[in-house]
Structure 1
Amino acid sequence: MAPRKFFVGGNWKCNGAGDDVKKIVTVLNDAEAPRAPSVKVVVSPPFVFLQQVKGLLRPDFAVAAQNCWVRKGDAFTGEISAEMLVNLQVPWVILGHSERRALLSDQMISLSGKFPRKIVHNLTFVADKVAYALSQGLKVIACIGETLEQREAGTTMEVVAAQTKAIAEKVSDWTNVMLAYESVWAIGTGKVASPAQAEEVHDGLRKWLNTNVTPAVAESIRIIYGGSVNGANCKELAAQPDLDGFLVGGASLKPEFVDIVKSATVKSSSA
C-alpha cells in the first residue's frame, strides 16, 4: 500500500479581515514549501473569506470550510449547507471541531455513568454531518479528542473510540475521511501533547479501526494531530509513525505555518 500523504490544515477560526487575509495568503504563495506529492496543504478561513482566499491562493494549496449543516439547506438561519460549499467548489470541510462540540452545542462526551441523552445525540449529530457532507462529494476532516478532565481520568481512548464509533456507524466508504485527533486540553493553551502521547492515541485509533472497521481503512486513513502545533515542535511530532500531519490553529495565521508545512520532509526522508 502507498504511504499516507502528509497533510497540513490551517484552521483560521474566527480571525481575519480583508488586509489580514491578503497578508496571510501572500506569505503562503511566496513560501518555498514542499509540493505535491510530498504534502497536501489546506487552509480554512471563515466562510466570508472562502471565495477570496480560493481566488488568491496558489493552485497546489486548497481551501476548507470550518463547518456545514447536517442536511440540505432550508429554514436553518446562520447555517451553511454542503451543497453551497460544493457550488463554491470548496473541496474540504472540518466537522466536529472541539470548539463546536464544547461551545456550540456539539458537546464533548462524558464517561461518568451512563451517557446523557443530549450527549449521545451530539455524538450522532456530528456523525450525521460527516455522512451528509460525504454524500454531497465533500472531503471531511472529522475531529475527535478528549478534555483535560477526561485525560486525567484515564479515559482518553474510550472517549476518542466512542466519537469514532459514532462516525463509523454512519460511514461505509472512508476514502474521503480524515481523522483529526485534538488534545483539547492543548488547544489555545500553549500546552502540547508530547510526541509519545500523540503517537499513543494515533496508534490506538488505528488499532481500533483495524478491529472495528477494516484493516485496509486502518492502514490507509490519515490521522492528523491538533493542539498548539507550532514551528518549534512540528518536526518531532511529524516523526511519529502514526501521525500523518496537523490541523493547526493559531500558528496557521503566522509565517511559521510554512515551517509546519515543511515538517512533511521528516516523513519523506524517513520513507
Structure 2
Amino acid sequence: MQFINCKGQLISLDSPKVMGILNVTPDSFFDGGKYKDEIAIVTQVEKMLLAGATFIDIGAYSSRPNAPHVSEIEEKQRLLPIVELLVKQFPEILISVDTFRSEVAKEAIKIGAALVNDISAGNLDAKMMETVGKLGVPYMMMHMQGTPKTMQQNPSYESIVKEILEYFSSKIAKAKSHKINDIIVDPGFGFGKTIAHNYTILKQLELFKILDYPILAGVSRKSMIYNVLETSAQEALNGTSVLHTIALQNGASILRVHDVKEAMECVKLVGMISD
C-alpha cells in the first residue's frame, strides 16, 4: 500500500490520483498567460477540484525548452500570492509547488502548500533536498537531462530506462539521507528526451515500480503527442487521453494534467479492467 502524508492527511495512491496544472507563467507551452487575474485563477482551480483533482500543481517558472530565465524574486512574486489566495479560498486544497528553488519551496509550504515538485531532483539547488527534509512534505523528483535551456539540444542515452532507474536509485538514497519519507518519481517525459525516448519510457513504465515509489506521469498535451499527430497542443486532448490510459495500465499513480475531467474518466475506465 502506498500513502503520502499531505498536511497530516494520508492520501492513498493505491488508486491513481489526478494532479491539475495551474501555470501562472506568461509563456507556458499550452496555457501561458491564461490565468492572469484572481477570478480566472479561482474559477479554473474550482473547476479542477470539482472535476476530481486531488492535487493542484502551481508553477511560476516555465520549463519549456528555451524558456527565458526568471529570477527567484520574480518567481516568488508570481507564485506566493496565488498559493495564499487558493489556500484562503479552498482551505482543504492540496497544492503542489512546481519549483527547483529551495527558498521558493520553503516560503510556499509556509503559507499552505503541501508538496514540492522539483523538475531537477535537487540538481539546480543543492539545498533543495535538505530543505524538503526539514519541511517534512512529499517530494516529487523528476529526471531531466541537462537544464530546461539545454535539454532538447541533443538528448542521448545508451539505455534510457536503465539510466533513469540508476539516476532515481541515487536520488532516492540522497533524499532518504535527508529524511524525506514521501517520494514520488517522475521520469520526465519531454525533458531531455526525443519522441522515441518518450515512447520507450511509456512502454516500459512498469519497470519503474522496481523503485517501490509512486510514479507520476506528465504527458498532458506535450509535443510527444502533437508532433506525432501533426497537430498542436490545443488539439492534443484526445491523444493525451490515449497516453494517460497507457500510463495508468503501466503503473502510473498520479497523472499531471491540464484537463482534469477527461483524466478522471481515464482513471475510472481503466479501474474497471484493473485487478
* 1:199 aligned to which of 197, 202, 222: 202
- Is this contact kept in 1: 2:57–2:98, CA < 8 A? no
* 1:34 aligned to which of 51, 66, 83: 51
In the other structure, the counterpart of 1:67 is 99
Matched, 1:43 2:57: yes
- Cα offset, 1:263, TM superposition: 1.1
- Is this contact kept in 2: 1:183–1:193, CA < 8 A? no
Offset from partner CA, 1:130-186 (integer Å, 9 cap, x none):
3531331222221114556445x4431233123202212223377522112212358
In the other structure, the counterpart of 1:5 is 16
TM-score by length of 1: 0.61
- Cα RMSD between the aligned structures? 3.8
Matched, 1:234 2:240: yes
- Is the alpha carbon distance of 1:224 and 1:30 closer, same or farther for their aligned partners in structure 2, counting shifts above 3 Å? closer
- Is the alpha carbon distance of 1:174 and 1:32 closer, same or farther for their aligned partners in structure 2, counting shifts above 3 Å? closer
Offset from partner CA, 1:81-123 (integer Å, 9 cap, x none):
654333212212221349x96xxxx4xxxxxxxxxxxxxxx8x
Which sections of structure 1, spanning at least 5 residues, go unmatched? Answer: 71-79, 107-121, 210-216, 249-256
Matched, 1:181 2:173: no
Which AA in structure 2 matches 1:44? I
- Map of 1:1-271 to 2, 5 A cutoff? 1=1, 3-10=14-21, 12=23, 14-15=25-26, 20-22=36-38, 23-30=40-47, 33-35=50-52, 39-46=53-60, 47-57=76-86, 59=90, 61-67=93-99, 69=101, 80=103, 82-97=105-120, 106=124, 125=126, 129-146=128-145, 149-151=154-156, 153-172=157-176, 175-184=181-190, 197-207=200-210, 209=211, 217-218=212-213, 221-226=214-219, 228-229=221-222, 230-240=236-246, 241=249, 242-248=251-257, 257=258, 259-271=259-271
* Aligned-partner Cα distance in 2 for 1:13–1:269: 31
In the other structure, the counterpart of 2:5 is none
Which sections of structure 2, spanning at least 5 residues, go unmatched? Answer: 2-11, 27-31, 61-75, 146-150, 223-235
- Is this contact kept in 1: 2:24–2:35, CA < 8 A? no
- Is the alpha carbon distance of 1:160 and 1:19 closer, same or farther for their aligned partners in structure 2, counting shifts above 3 Å? closer
The count of corresponding residues between Structure 1 and Structure 2 is 212
In the other structure, the counterpart of 1:118 is none
In the other structure, the counterpart of 2:63 is none
- Is the alpha carbon distance of 1:86 and 1:145 closer, same or farther for their aligned partners in structure 2, counting shifts above 3 Å? closer
- Cα offset, 1:44, TM superposition: 1.0
Offset from partner CA, 1:6-43 (integer Å, 9 cap, x none):
232426274377971432432332458432xxx42312
